[in-house]
Structure 1
Amino acid sequence: MMDGSAFLNETAHRIADDMAGNAEHLRITVAEGPMGARLIDAGAAVLGSIEAGLGIARATMGGLGEVNAAIDRTAEKWPLNIEVRSSQPVLACLASQYAGWSLSDGGYFAMGSGPARALARVEPLFSSLGYRERADAAVLVLETSEPPVEAIVEKVSQATGVAADRLTFIYAPTQSLAGTVQIVARVLEVALHKANDLGFPLERIVDGAGAAPLPAPHPDFLTAMGRTNDAIIYGGIVQLFVKGPAADAEALAEKLPSSASREYGEPFSDIFKRFKGDFYAIDPLLFSPAEVIVTAIETGETFRSGGRDLAMLERCLG
């Protein structure tokens, strides 16, 4: 098993410190929460910002990813793209960024992402990742408009082995500027997650980059969630650099785009309604970028599949 010491959490903790030190500039707030945990509100009771969302995305990747906003002059209506790159994509995206930790207590519920997951290792995914951390400080990002209650703080502390007053919770709802940014910044992560679901050996994915358009946030949760998913499903592009036979790279490229899903072709909010809000009933092959490029670095061959659907983006992103 790979032992990362405390790299992901230590680096994310420094990113969170920088965010806290620039709270006024980022339009976020910092407060002490239950059991002394640090709470950073990036979009619930505050306006937040695109820059705050970029900071959240960098923290969720444990500092192993570059996340930036850039203008795509070829796009007319939604030219601002969120660009992501990592030379440790499996660790950055799956061991850290993936929102795989379900946290609930009474009426409270949030999905947790970020490097604290690599300490808790409560998700089945970690059995295949072979990665473990030990740290005395941890960062967890919550997709919610409510700060974590004491029972959640205690649960995270126990699962991670980190004292509550050394935990940082960054939270922002999907409807916020920062929440929209950090979700769209998962364009590379969804490609890695689908590659794993398809059985492609993760150790052969050595580098990756992706981009997706940034939609406008919306006050309605379902609409906001639909837009962030549609930005990736119909507008995302990812390039993966992989080791191994070119035939395997070609097969991955063919299977990876969102168009390989039977659900492809509708706005995500409509799909979600059709499945009566059961997220897990939706075809998991849908959750991937629109366009995929896979480069076999040992043969020099590159394979492309899928493509951005500009008409769907115009329809879905508002």
Structure 2
Amino acid sequence: MTPSPASSPGTAPLPALSVNALSAPLVAQLIDEAAQLRIAHSRTDEGTVIVDAGVAAPGSIDAGVLVARICMGGLGHVTTRMSAEADPLWPVTIDVRTSSPVLACLGSQYAGWSLSATKEQTGGKKFFSLGSGPARALAGKEDLFTELDYRDHHDCGALVLEVDRMPPHIVIDKIVRDCGLAPDRLTLVITPTHSVAGTVQVVARVVEVALHKTHVLGVDLREIVEGSGSAPLPPPAPEGIQAMGRTNDAILYGGRVHLTVKQDAVARRLAAELPSSNARDYGRPFADIFASFNYDFYQIDAALFAPAEVWVSSLESGATYHGGRVDAALLQAQWGAGSAP
């Protein structure tokens, strides 16, 4: 089945591609290669597949790359590489590119679906996670899908939860219901930030972060034609806040993005306004910033959530504009890249 976006005056619907159909072979690969990827999977009594990519199972970099591709709705290329530079920013880098940047990044990869349950509902601890990936486009619970003029209606779906424990049944039931799926047609992938796979899939959001900042700036998303980016892959951290800090720092201080847009004026503006260095809170490790605001994301200057360095090319003029900078010293200080005695 294919999505059927509704048309509205003054908007151009996203291409009639199904992010869930495109990512389904990747979901099947994740399950089929579970042993090689060092992940585990199980089914609920109702048939929903739960993939453990870092809670009890150790996971792997390869698992994280595949999860990142699923998150992008099958419309993104994600790879790792060793730096060949004499003095690299960091040894291992995540590279991402997509020719459908708005649909891949905002219509699928963006972690915009808030899922929670009280301790009374779970019979234990309260639960909270943000859902990312193609199943978001089935549920359409976010205002963003109205702006994008996009909905998917495929008969199976996958959602990635960045959380350190399995979701309770009440949350699973909600996802199934909101997506309009049979329970056995839903796959949930669990990737804690402090896990190896979780670290990879978060850092692989470097282009998505640029697209979201573009949206926050009020730039017409129809301007964005291509998107590529890279960010250093930090070592996993054993503790959640530290892991969150490292993955955010990788993008905010080490992320590099190249966008291609239609108009020259948009290219100039994005090169000037997109980089994270425009933010009030720029210059400190993210974990320190987070703690200084009592762990409240909404108190942090939203301009901070952006790549460190950008290049923006204009199809109109052929010119490319550059802005921002990488802060290698901050990253290496935080990640312990000292010389062995």
| Counterpart for residue 69 of structure 1 | 80
Partner of 1:264: 282
Matched, 1:183 2:202: yes
Cα distance change of structure 1 residues 300 and 3 upon mapping to structure 2, 3 Å threshold: closer
The equivalent position to 1:10 in structure 2, one of 10, 14, 21, is 21
- Report the Cα distance in structure 1 between the residues aligned to 2:312 and 2:156, rounded to whole angstroms: 36
Match of 1:251 in 2: 269
Match in the other structure for 1:20: 31
Pick aligned residue for 2:260 from 232, 235, 241 = 241
Identify the residue that residue 38 of structure 1 maps to in structure 2.
Answer: 49
Q: Deviations over 1:233-262 (max 9, x none)?
A: 000000000002x12210111000000101
- What is the CA RMSD across the aligned residues, in angstroms? 1.3
The equivalent residue for 2:157 is 138
User: How many matched pairs?
Assistant: 317
1:86 aligns with 2:104: no
Unaligned runs of 5+ in 2: 1-5, 7-12, 119-125, 337-341
1:251 is matched by which residue type in structure 2? Answer: R
AA in 1 matched with 2:134: P
1:311 matched to 2:311? The reply is no
Asked if structure 2 preserves the Cα contact closer than 8 Å seen for 1:141 and 1:170, the reply is yes
Q: CA deviation at 1:6?
A: 6.4
Q: Cα distance, 1:109 vs. partner? A: 1.2
Q: Confirm or deny: 8 A CA contact 1:3 1:132 kept in the other structure.
A: no
- Paired position in structure 2 for 1:113: 132
Q: 2:312 aligns with which of 287, 294, 302?
A: 294
Shift of 1:146: 1.4
Q: In 2, are the aligned partners of 1:230 and 1:317 still within 8 Å (CA)?
A: no
Q: Residues 35 and 150 of structure 1 are in contact (CA less than 8 Å); yes or no, is this contact kept in structure 2?
A: no
**Do the aligned residues in 2 keep the contact of 1:187 with 1:210 (CA within 8 Å)?**
yes
- Amino acid corresponding to residue 42 of structure 1 in structure 2: A
Is the Cα–Cα contact under 8 Å of residues 14 and 148 in structure 2 kept in the other structure? no
- From 160, 165, 168, the equivalent of 2:184 is 165
1:3: Cα distance to partner?
Answer: 7.0
Q: Secondary structure at the match of 2:58?
A: coil
Return 5+ residue gaps in structure 1 as ranges. Answer: none
Q: Which one is further off, 1-10 or 277-286? A: 1-10
Structure 1 segment 205-284 matched on structure 2, within 5 A:
205-244=224-263, 246-284=264-302
Partner amino acid for 2:325? Answer: G
Opposite residue 149 of structure 1, the aligned amino acid is P
| Per-residue CA distance 1:252-295 (angstroms, 9 max, x = gap) | 11000000101000000000000000011111110110000000
Q: Distance in 1 between matches of 2:276 and 2:48?
A: 39
TM-score (norm 1): 0.97
Percent of aligned pairs sharing the same letter: 50
State the 1:135 CA deviation.
Answer: 1.1
**Which protein shows a greater Rg?**
2
8 A contact 2:75–2:104 mirrored in 1? yes
Distance change in 2, residues 1:60/1:41 (3 Å): same
d(CA) in 2 for partners of 1:5 and 1:127? 15
